[in-house]
């Protein structure tokens, strides 16, 4: 799962990040209510969102550097 994001385009990365943020938000509410099957999913989602943020920033910087040259 770690490396599956590297092949995606910038627009796909942003869409995937928004999808995971929504899942994370819903999972947080479920944890408060107490109906969570896998509590480690919160950590997994948080790390996936961080990976996506990193890839998005790298792609934006690369695009910015290419535009300057």
Encode pLDDT of 13-64 as tens digits.
999 999 999 999 999 999 999 888 898 999 999 999 999 999 999 999 998 8
pLDDT value of residue 66? 83
Asked whether residue 38 is assigned to any structural domain, the reply reads: yes
Q: Angle CA(18)–CA(24)–CA(28) in degrees, nearest 5?
A: 145
Does 1 map to a domain?
Answer: no
In a domain, 17, yes or no: yes
- Residue 46 has a pLDDT of 97
Reduced to 3 states (helix: H, G, I; strand: E, B; else coil), residue 67 is helix
Sign, Cα dihedral of 64, 65, 66, 67:
positive
Position 2 confidence tier, pLDDT thresholds 50, 70, 90: low
Q: For the chain, what is the domain count? A: 1
Q: Is there a domain that residue 26 lies in?
A: yes
Q: Which of 4, 44, 39, 36 has the alpha carbon at shortest distance from 20? A: 44
Residues across the chain:
69
Which residue range(s) make up the domain with 52?
A: 8-68
The Cα diameter of the chain in Å comes to: 53
State how far the Cα of 49 lies from the Cα of 12, in Å rounded to an integer.
13
pLDDT at residue 12, rounded to an integer: 96
**Within a domain: residue 63?**
yes
Structural domain includes residue 3: no
Tell whether 40 is covered by a domain.
yes
Give the pLDDT score at 51.
96
């Amino acid at each position: 799962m770690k490396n599956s994001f590297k092949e995606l385009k910038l627009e796909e990365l942003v869409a995937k990040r928004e999808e995971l943020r929504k899942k994370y938000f819903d999972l947080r509410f479920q944890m408060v209510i107490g109906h969570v099957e896998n509590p480690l999913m919160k950590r997994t989602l948080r790390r996936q969102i961080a990976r996506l943020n990193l890839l998005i920033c790298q792609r934006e910087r690369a695009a910015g550097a290419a535009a300057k040259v």
